């Protein structure tokens, strides 16, 4: 029996030993977060690009999650910090229950609702959920959530000056003792020792250190990243009062994005500053219990966990797509910060121009948006308002929206369904199930259902064939959108390349 076949008998092990080991030998950062390396002789686990000496094949195993490594008794490498990596693209590429569970765990569902709540969202019993996750990922939901809490705790320890007791409860631990024991087990250090290890870039800025509810972070991603495209998309769809793109000559790429985010324990503000190799994020007005959810949602909005090289290599095999991809490598699929908001905003964009849709959205925000603190409070040029809740739109949206009565009735009807829980869109729902739920709602057609599904679930294989811009780009390139099976599972990325190709032809800087 080969080494590879032995390793595949371990629950949660990576499927291809030889491919993983070659990535470790090359210290290939593209695989960071997609699997982890456990080293028997040292008792540590690392990211594939760890700069330490490459261990011998018979001393290593590869697992899909940090929790699986921790479950087997390994501690995190202090040199490469394996928890500070981009997330695995598997959780979006795969539609199975394990992938959907990981998306919900990353959003903090276990901390807020327990394993029973996670199981209910996935329509499984807790016992069956535990069995499947253990078989597929090498760890059950409690262990996976524990790894998530440990990462949140490390961020708070090293990026803030919060007292350790506050860190413990903000990260989701039930007691100080549980917090101390977990940090020692995962990192091999006490919380105080871990704080001493922080490097200069992790130290809180003086203003961040003194401001309650503030934390500054660095979010990694896999290069390349086409930032002009994301800047155009965020600016073109920005809702006045909720979000804005700010030109800033002092910023590394000349701009920043500020946005109010609705989170489980209250709204916060994210200021996002793109860099060539990471994203800087400053979160303010934050209930620290929402740190993990905030980070997860920003990552999903910017599609930071995409395996962009795999997607574009596969699509470039089609000669008709090769030129658009070579012109703009690193294009990402913009995600969603809130599923209900995404549905309402997309409905308001049906069969109207982008400017007309923004006008309606701005009216909703102005009339029904929730001020972050005192009404009228501003931060620079951003009015601090959260996007209106579905309940607020259902109750008062009819007095605010303008246009055909049929469309207004449809928006109000969907808002009522969301507010009453008759539709429960979230990152853990299967993409095909979400699309089917949406299509059943009056006023939602295939175009809306496909955009919402692509952006809420992160499904990489949604082709917006009915989108007018996509159809015109396909005509320009001589593409037949009825024959795109060979693009699977990356048709969402083909969609954004077609979008960008048409916009660039119209003179947009994307």
Q: Residue 339's closest CA among 308, 300, 371, 302?
A: 300
Would you state the pLDDT for residue 89?
78
Percentage with pLDDT > 70 across the chain:
92
Please give the order of strands across the beta sheet that includes 255-261. 215-220, 278-284, 268-274, 255-261, 243-247
Among candidate residues 283, 305, 327, the one where a domain is terminated: 305
Does residue 330 lie in a domain region? no
DSSP state letter for 39: E
Q: How far is CA 147 from CA 28, 140, 230, 275, in A?
A: 24, 11, 31, 27
Query: In this structure, are 186 and 264 located in the same domain?
Result: no
Query: In this structure, are 78 and 94 located in the same domain?
Result: no
Kindly report, residue by residue over 91-144, the tens digit of the pLDDT: 777 668 898 999 999 999 999 999 999 999 999 999 999 999 998 899 999 999
Give the Cα separation of 214 and 171 in Å (integer).
14
Domain CATH for 390: 1.10.340.30
Using CA of residue 135, residue 137, residue 141, residue 143, what is the dihedral sign?
Answer: positive
User: Does residue 316 carry a pLDDT above 50?
Assistant: yes
Residue 295: give the domain boundaries: 209-305
Among candidate residues 85, 102, 130, the one where a domain is terminated: 85
Q: Residue 274's closest CA among 235, 228, 209?
A: 228
Nearest-5° Cα angle at 239, 235 to 242: 110
Confidence band (pLDDT; 50, 70, 90) for 380?
low
**235, two tokens:** 């600016």
403: left (phi over 0), alpha (psi -120 to 50) or beta: left
Would you state the pLDDT for residue 91?
76
Query: In this structure, are 191 and 235 located in the same domain?
Result: no
Query: In this structure, are 343 and 449 located in the same domain?
Result: yes
User: Does residue 213 carry a pLDDT above 90?
Assistant: no
Kindly report, residue by residue over 278-298, the tens digit of the pLDDT: 999 999 999 999 999 999 999
DSSP state letter for 13: B
Average pLDDT over the chain, rounded to an integer: 90
Query: In this structure, are 389 and 432 located in the same domain?
Result: yes
- Cα–chain-centroid distance for residue 21? 27
Confidence band (pLDDT; 50, 70, 90) for 212?
confident
Give the Cα separation of 489 and 329 in Å (integer).
18
Does residue 443 lie in a domain region? yes
Does residue 394 lie in a domain region? yes
Confidence band (pLDDT; 50, 70, 90) for 412?
very high
Backbone dihedral angles phi then psi of residue 214, each to the nearest 5 degrees: -125, 135
The total domain count for the chain is 4
Confidence band (pLDDT; 50, 70, 90) for 6?
very low
Does residue 11 lie in a domain region? no
Give the Cα separation of 256 and 281 in Å (integer).
10
SS (H, E, C) 68-97: HHHHCCCEECCCCCCCCCCCCCHHHHCCCH
Give the Cα separation of 482 and 468 in Å (integer).
15
Give the Cα separation of 129 and 173 in Å (integer).
22
DSSP state letter for 338: -
Give the Cα separation of 88 and 34 in Å (integer).
5
Query: In this structure, are 406 and 349 located in the same domain?
Result: yes
Query: In this structure, are 169 and 113 located in the same domain?
Result: yes
Does residue 312 lie in a domain region? no
Query: In this structure, are 126 and 37 located in the same domain?
Result: no
Nearest-5° Cα angle at 174, 171 to 178: 90
Does residue 239 lie in a domain region? yes
Give the Cα separation of 214 and 301 in Å (integer).
20
Residues 6 or more apart in contact with residue 481 via CB below 8 angstroms: 463, 465, 470, 471, 474
Query: In this structure, are 440 and 343 located in the same domain?
Result: yes
| Mean pLDDT, range 261-269, rounded to an integer | 94
**Interaxial angle between packed helices 97-106 and 126-137, expressed in degrees from 0 to 180 and rounded to the nearest 10:** 100
| Mean pLDDT, range 146-172, rounded to an integer | 92
Domain CATH for 262: 3.30.310.20
The answer to pTM > 0.85 is: yes
Does residue 298 lie in a domain region? yes
Instruction: Indicate which residues carry an active-site annotation.
Output: 46, 467
Domain CATH for 190: 1.10.10.60
Residues 6 or more apart in contact with residue 390 via CB below 8 angstroms: 340, 344, 415, 416, 418, 419
Query: In this structure, are 359 and 436 located in the same domain?
Result: yes
Does residue 428 lie in a domain region? yes
Nearest-5° Cα angle at 91, 315 to 486: 25
Query: In this structure, are 389 and 291 located in the same domain?
Result: no
- Residue given tokens 């954004």 in the structure block: 496
Domain CATH for 63: 3.40.10.10
Query: In this structure, are 437 and 370 located in the same domain?
Result: yes
| SS3 (DSSP) at 261 | strand
């Amino acid at each position: 029996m080969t080494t590879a076949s032995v390793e595949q008998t371990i629950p949660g092990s990576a499927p291809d030993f030889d491919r993983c080991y070659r990535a470790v030998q090359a210290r290939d950062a593209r695989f960071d977060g997609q699997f982890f390396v456990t080293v028997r002789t040292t008792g540590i686990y690392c990211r594939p690009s760890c700069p330490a000496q490459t261990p011998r094949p018979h001393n290593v195993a590869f697992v899909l999650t940090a929790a699986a490594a921790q479950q087997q008794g390994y501690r995190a490498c202090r040199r490469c910090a394996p928890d500070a990596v981009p997330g695995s693209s598997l959780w979006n590429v795969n539609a199975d229950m394990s992938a959907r569970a990981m998306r919900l765990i990353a959003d903090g569902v276990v901390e807020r609702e327990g394993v029973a709540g996670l199981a209910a969202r996935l329509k499984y019993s807790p016992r069956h959920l535990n069995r499947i996750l253990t078989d597929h990922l090498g760890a059950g939901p409690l262990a996976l959530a524990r790894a998530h809490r440990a990462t949140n705790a490390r961020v708070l320890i090293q990026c803030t000056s919060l007292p350790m007791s506050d860190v413990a409860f903000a990260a989701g631990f039930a007691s100080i003792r549980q917090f101390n024991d977990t940090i020692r087990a995962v990192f091999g250090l006490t919380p105080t020792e871990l704080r001493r290890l922080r490097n200069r870039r992790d130290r809180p800025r003086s203003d961040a250190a003194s401001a309650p509810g503030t934390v500054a972070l660095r979010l990694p991603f896999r290069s390349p990243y086409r930032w002009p495209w994301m800047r155009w998309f965020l600016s073109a769809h920005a809702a006045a009062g909720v979000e804005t793109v700010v030109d800033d000559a002092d910023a590394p790429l000349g701009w920043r994005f500020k946005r109010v985010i609705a989170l489980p324990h209250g709204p916060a503000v994210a200021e996002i500053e793109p860099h060539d190799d990471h994203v800087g994020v400053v979160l303010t007005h934050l209930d620290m219990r929402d740190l993990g959810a905030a980070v997860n949602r920003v990552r999903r909005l910017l599609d930071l966990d995409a395996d962009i090289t795999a997607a574009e290599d596969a699509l470039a095999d089609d000669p008709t797509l090769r030129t658009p991809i070579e012109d703009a490598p690193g294009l990402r699929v913009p995600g969603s910060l809130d599923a209900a908001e995404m549905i309402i905003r997309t409905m308001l964009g049906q069969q109207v121009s982008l400017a007309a849709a923004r006008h309606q959205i701005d009216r909703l925000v102005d009339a029904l948006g929730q001020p972050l603190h005192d009404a009228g409070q501003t931060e620079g040029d951003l009015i601090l308002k959260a996007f209106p809740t579905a309940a607020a739109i259902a109750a008062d949206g009819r007095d605010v929206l303008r246009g055909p009565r049929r469309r207004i009735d449809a928006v109000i009807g969907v808002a009522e369904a969301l507010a009453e829980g008759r539709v429960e869109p979230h990152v853990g729902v299967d993409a095909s199930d979400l699309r089917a739920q949406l299509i059943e709602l009056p006023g939602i057609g295939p175009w809306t259902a496909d955009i919402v599904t692509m952006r809420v679930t992160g499904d990489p294989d949604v082709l917006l064939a009915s989108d007018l811009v996509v159809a015109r780009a396909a005509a320009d390139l001589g593409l037949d959108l009825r024959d795109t099976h060979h693009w699977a599972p990356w048709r969402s990325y083909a969609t954004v390349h077609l979008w960008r190709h048409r916009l660039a032809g119209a003179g947009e800087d994307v």
